[in-house]
């Protein structure tokens, strides 16, 4: 495998989901050759967690730019691509399907036959093979479907959509018009929405929005892009890109780790963080990491 120092490339790992085996994570990474013909490659990497440490290997590569992975059933998972394809992976079989929409930024739902795609122009229902319903709203970055009758999607210029099981409707009470990049629903009355410039709010699903301030080591407001929010062992963690990993305490969020954090997931009994070319794992007590240089 060629290391990053030996090539002129852009490279990053973006997303992580449960693997196909116990003690395994699947990581989505991308790389592009700046010096060549602008080739873009999506790599899927398997990281194995063992008592002696973390080990990884590239499972396969696809000639596209992957935006996000979702596992909605034990037997398969989806990859959404910048080309508007939904790539379904079952075992060693990869089935690429053109969804007929723009770049797919997020796939989430209650099952792999009842899910939603967030993309450049709005949100569409996906039954595992086809689009059945579409709601146009403008550019959406991500969504979280909590139940079949409740979900939230967020996007450009302060777009927030609320799903009631039948329709997605715009929310008028949103207090900002900045780019919103993440949403996490603890319940339908406790929703965390974040975006550019350190914007992070706790929303009650109605009209009440509480600003959560991300504070730097010097007590200043953090200026960053929010990656995502997860709940691990009863604690809410916030990925704050290059500024580190934060913990929400009431109306503030305090830094707990200095390493860059882009995406977080709770997998089994572990908190797993991806960041540029590194995967971090916490068992509730200690952290350990492995570098994943691509390609």
The total number of structural domains in the chain stands at: 2
CA distance 47 to 15: 12
pTM of the model: 0.93
Residues 227 and 167 in one domain: yes
Residue at 205 is within a domain: yes
**Domain containing residue 176: CATH number:** 2.130.10.10
Same domain, 253 and 142: yes
User: 275 and 178, same structural domain?
Assistant: no
Place 6 in a pLDDT band, splitting at 50, 70 and 90: very low
Encode pLDDT of 63-104 as tens digits. 999 999 999 999 999 999 999 999 999 999 999 999 989 899
Q: Which residue has the tokens 């329709």?
A: 167
173, containing H or E segment: none
Q: Which domain holds residue 203?
A: 137-260
Same domain, 57 and 148: no
Q: Does the structure show a pLDDT above 60 at 259?
A: yes
Residue length, the chain? 295
CA distance 204 to 116: 22
pLDDT (tens digit per residue) in 172-188: 999 999 999 999 999 99
Same domain, 252 and 279: no
Asked whether residue 132 is assigned to any structural domain, the reply reads no
For residue 239, being part of any structural domain is answered with yes
Tokens 């109605």 — which residue?
Answer: 206
CA distance 206 to 267: 30
Q: pLDDT class for 11, splitting at 50, 70, 90? A: low
Q: Are residues 230 and 269 located together in one domain of the fold?
A: no
* Same domain, yes or no: 169 and 190: yes
pLDDT at 152: 98
| Residues 6 or more apart in contact with residue 54 via CB below 8 angstroms | 47, 48, 279, 281, 288, 289, 290
Is the pLDDT confidence value at 8 over 50?
no
**Confidence band of 295 (pLDDT split at 50, 70, 90):** low
């Amino acid at each position: 495998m060629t290391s990053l120092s030996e090539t002129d490339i852009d490279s990053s790992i973006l997303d992580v989901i449960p693997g196909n085996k116990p003690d395994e994570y699947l990581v989505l990474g991308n790389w592009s050759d700046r010096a060549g013909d602008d080739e873009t490659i999506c790599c899927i990497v398997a990281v194995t967690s063992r008592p002696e440490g973390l080990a990884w290997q590239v499972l396969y590569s696809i000639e596209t730019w992957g935006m996000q992975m979702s596992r909605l059933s034990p037997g398969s998972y989806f990859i959404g691509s910048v080309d508007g394809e939904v790539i379904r992976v079952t075992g060693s079989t990869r089935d690429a399907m053109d969804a007929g929409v723009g770049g797919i930024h997020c796939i989430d739902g209650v099952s792999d036959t009842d899910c939603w795609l967030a993309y450049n122009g709005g949100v569409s229902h996906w039954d595992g093979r086809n689009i059945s319903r579409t709601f146009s709203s403008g550019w959406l970055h991500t969504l979280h479907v909590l139940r079949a009758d409740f979900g939230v999607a967020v996007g450009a210029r302060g777009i927030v959509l609320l799903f009631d099981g039948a329709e997605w409707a715009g929310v008028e009470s949103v207090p900002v018009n900045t780019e919103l990049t993440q949403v996490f629903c603890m319940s339908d009355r406790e929703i965390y929405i974040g975006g550019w410039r350190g914007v992070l709010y706790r929303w009650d699903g109605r009209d009440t929005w509480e600003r959560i301030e991300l504070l730097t080591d010097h007590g200043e407001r953090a200026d960053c892009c929010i990656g995502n929010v997860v709940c691990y062992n009863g604690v809410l963690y916030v990925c704050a890109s290059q500024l580190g990993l934060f913990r929400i305490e009431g109306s503030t969020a305090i830094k707990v780790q200095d390493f860059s954090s882009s995406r977080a997931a709770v997998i089994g009994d572990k908190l797993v963080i991806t960041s540029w070319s590194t995967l971090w794992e916490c068992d509730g007590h200690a952290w350990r990491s492995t570098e994943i240089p691509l390609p």
